[in-house]
């Protein structure tokens, strides 16, 4: 017959095992919490802007405790930058078949990114709030815009090597000429440029910077 100490030891062991099982069952909810928090941050940022946003509001919208947010992100800035990254999506290289084709492929993705889903509205808010928080806006550009501009820069340099773009053409200005019509249309609430209009932009720019 088990002694009192043995029974207590067995009960403690059973409780420990049970708690471990509960923790294991609870782990998959972490990914769900991350997704809910990021989704809430994106929605609130698009609705209220950066300056009015708070961790408390994000937690309430996501249905989690404020401490749950802080365990994942040390501050509001890091949370918002990660939220922008989720909306922006991963960087994908163009097909590489031709300079014109790759520029058109990149411009099409830019158009779709700004006009489909929440990204365009989100970036409009960030651009406006960037006047008050230029440091955060610069960090956002460094993380998510600069890598894509680097891809465009690589395509333009290939155009120089292949004789399609003159050697003295400034890649930064060529990028601006390509992307500005799309971004301007998004900021001024115009319709998304059509595929034919994107082709016109690429062909006009390439003609202008040809040797």
- Distance, CA of 195 to CA of 207 (rounded, Å): 18
Per residue in 81-104, pLDDT tens? 898 888 777 788 899 889 999 999
Listed as ranges, residues in the chain with pLDDT below 70 are: 1-30
Architecture per CATH, 89-208: Orthogonal Bundle (1.10)
Domains 4-86 and 89-208 share a fold: yes
Each residue of 48-58: b (16+ CB within 10 Å) or e? Answer: eebeebebebb
CB-CB neighbours of 23 under 10 Å: 9
All structural domains of the chain with their residue ranges: 4-86, 89-208
Q: Would you state the pLDDT for residue 6?
A: 41
Q: Would you state the pLDDT for residue 160?
A: 96
Tell me which fold the domain 4-86 belongs to.
Tetracycline Repressor; domain 2 (1.10.357)
Closest CA to 52 of 63, 64, 43: 43
């Amino acid at each position: 017959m088990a002694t009192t100490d043995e029974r207590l030891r067995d009960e403690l062991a059973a409780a420990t095992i049970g708690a471990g099982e509960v923790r294991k069952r609870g782990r998959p909810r972490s990914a769900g919490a991350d997704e809910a928090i990021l989704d809430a941050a994106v929605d609130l940022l698009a609705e209220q802007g950066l300056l009015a946003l708070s961790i408390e509001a994000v937690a309430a919208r996501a249905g989690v405790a404020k401490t749950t947010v802080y365990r994942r992100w040390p501050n509001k800035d890091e949370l918002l930058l990660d939220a922008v990254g989720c909306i922006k999506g991963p960087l994908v290289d163009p097909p590489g078949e031709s300079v014109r084709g790759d520029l058109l492929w990149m411009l099409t993705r830019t158009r779709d990114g700004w006009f489909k889903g929440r990204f365009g509205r989100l970036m409009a808010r960030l651009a406006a709030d960037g006047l008050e928080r230029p440091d955060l806006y610069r960090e956002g550009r460094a993380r998510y815009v600069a890598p894509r501009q680097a891809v465009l820069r690589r395509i333009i340099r290939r155009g120089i090597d292949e004789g399609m773009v003159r050697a003295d053409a400034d890649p930064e200005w060529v990028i601006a000429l390509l992307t500005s019509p799309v971004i301007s249309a998004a900021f001024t609430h115009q319709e998304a440029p059509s595929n034919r209009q994107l082709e016109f932009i690429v062909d006009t720019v390439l003609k202008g910077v040809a040797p």
